[in-house]
Structure 1
Amino acid sequence: MKDRIDGHTILIGLMAYPIRHSMSPTMHNSAFAKLGLNNAYLAFEIDNKKLPGAINAIRTLGMRGSNISMPNKQKVIPLLDKLDPVAELIGAVNTVVNDDGVLTGYTTDGTGFMKSLADEGVDIGGQKMTLAGAGGAGTAIGIQAALDGVKDISVFNIHDQTWENAERMVKIINDKTNCQAKLFDLAEKKTFKAEIAGSMIYCDATGVGMKPLADKTLVSDPSWFRPEMIVFDTVYAPRTTKLMRVAQQAGVKHVLNGLGMMLEQGAEAFKLWTGKDMPIDYIRELLFKE
């Protein structure tokens, strides 16, 4: 890094809270170095309160842009100048691009999720998915999966500030795609179990499983899962979450964490900032080896 940074280096950020666990700085800085690009990527612990000032700093400092993660993916929208059509549809942003002071919001989470499944040789087209969580990542995953051919989605969410967003997501899926979606209260455990039992894929897009909830899981009983299904946890720190251990106990063939999704969504963001393809095989080997 010290050999690359000079007076012409352009900064790209990551704004979230908490964020010190993130592998995105390693991923992007390694890709910049591999391609000889004069950029640097840094993580900033930014919550909702600090977000307006941080977004304004993108313009003030001439940053190329920033990734946006929890809890800011929806709160950032009013602070931007424009939205990509997919981000507008999903109602969440995880990537901001600065073009001469004009900030445009994109979302790459959904495509990252679907590409990470494809990387594992998994096709969920025409299948049913149960999805827990309707925050920024969950919304992107649900809508992108519907756009890409998933037949049915059962969404489970708690009655908190994201419930209204969950209702919006389900309505968009039903109105604008060929997928049928239903929304359930996560407190309805019998229904939760039954919907998972009828699904080809269960995806947890909540923060359960990462710090400070690293010892928690929404599904603790291995009998809820079948060996032929897919269990996907968007958390990647720790690499093996409690949910994943439960799925492994059930003999599930495809038990995936969020590392592949993080890699693929990062590659999409990388191209938005640089116009170049991330050296994804090189980065995959680096990240998965670590």
Structure 2
Amino acid sequence: MKPPIGRDTTLCMSLAARPGNFGSRFHNRLYELLGLDFVYKAFTTTDLPAAIGGVRALGVRGCAISMPFKEAVIPLLDGLAASAAAIASVNTIVNDAGVLTGYNTDYLAVRELVAQAGIAPATPFVLRGSGGMAKAVAAALKGLGFDHGRIVARNTATGPALAAAYGYAWQAGLGERSAPLLINATPLGMRGPEENALAFPEDTIQACDTAFDVVAMPAETPFLARARAHGKRLIAGTDIIVLQALEQFVLYTGVRPSEAHVREAAAFARETP
């Protein structure tokens, strides 16, 4: 049984521009199932340095990092684990007695999901975005042997840089470009101002084989909804969020839950509270 919250309870948290409930519900459900004296809370901030200073000063054990903080947080940390250093992007902070280390569990989640989907490495792809999550996707695909890719990003600094880092092509706009594998790593379709935006045009979606959206809120974006209507194979952001959150949980607590516990926590987290 989980102990009641008290002075010895360990705090974990997340920082995002648009906080959701999934992480809080997933982690807190696992704490309950495993009887761990932890609590997890989601936050947003307009002052990232102050927020990270609070993580250090208050002894917050772990902090998940989401858009748009995955790169900006790096100078505020004491070091990077290999998973974060390889792609210069952080989605997880672990606090060891005031020493903050950045990790990236997005990379591991993306790699596993693409491998599970059985997509041949020779498959050409188009990846929209050039931020932290796009880096994780590009690195995972390159690690799996995907050599025929194109980065589509309006940012003329980060877009070409990401493409060059992994040997892919770059273009600022999608144009008429399509591919068997389409990946959205932008906020298009995310709850908020761009919730109704379609990450790819209808005819581009119709021509693909696999639609991959990293957006986890909502569970089915307009992009995935249109791809489903056309009978395409889907890889959803909700799948990524479970796998990356599991690895965060292990880093924070030192405990790896059973598959049954992970399934239960994920189902609980997906329910509307």
Q: Which runs of 5+ in 2 are unaligned?
A: none
What whole-Å deviation, never above 9, does each CA across 1:220-239 have from its counterpart, x for those lacking one? 31454347x11011112222
Q: Is the 8 A contact 1:12 1:41 kept in 2?
A: yes
Q: Which residue in 2 is equivalent to 1:258? A: 237
1:1-290 alignment to 2 at 5 Å? 4-19=4-19, 21-47=20-46, 50-118=47-115, 121-159=117-155, 163-174=156-167, 181-186=168-173, 188-190=174-176, 193=177, 196-197=178-179, 199=180, 201-210=181-190, 211-222=192-203, 224-226=205-207, 229-252=209-232, 254-278=233-257, 279-288=261-270
CA, structure 1 residues 281+122, in 2 after alignment: closer, same or farther (shift >3 Å)? farther
Q: CA deviation at 1:34?
A: 1.2
Which has the higher mean CA deviation after the structures are superposed, 85-94 or 275-284? 275-284
Q: Is the 8 A contact 1:223 1:250 kept in 2?
A: no
Give the percent of matched residue pairs that are identical in Structure 1 and Structure 2: 29
Q: Which runs of 4+ in 1 moved over 4 A?
A: none
Q: CA deviation at 1:38?
A: 1.0
Q: Is the 8 A contact 2:187 2:215 kept in 1?
A: yes
Give distance in 1, aligned partners of 2:243 and 2:82: 20
What whole-Å deviation, never above 9, does each CA across 1:4-30 have from its counterpart, x for those lacking one? 3122101011011121x3411001111
Q: Which runs of 5+ in 1 are unaligned?
A: 175-180
Question: What's the TM-score once normalised by structure 2's chain length?
Answer: 0.90
Q: CA deviation at 1:116?
A: 3.1
Q: Is the 8 A contact 2:71 2:89 kept in 1?
A: yes
CA, structure 1 residues 140+289, in 2 after alignment: closer, same or farther (shift >3 Å)? same
Give distance in 2, aligned partners of 1:189 and 1:281: 40
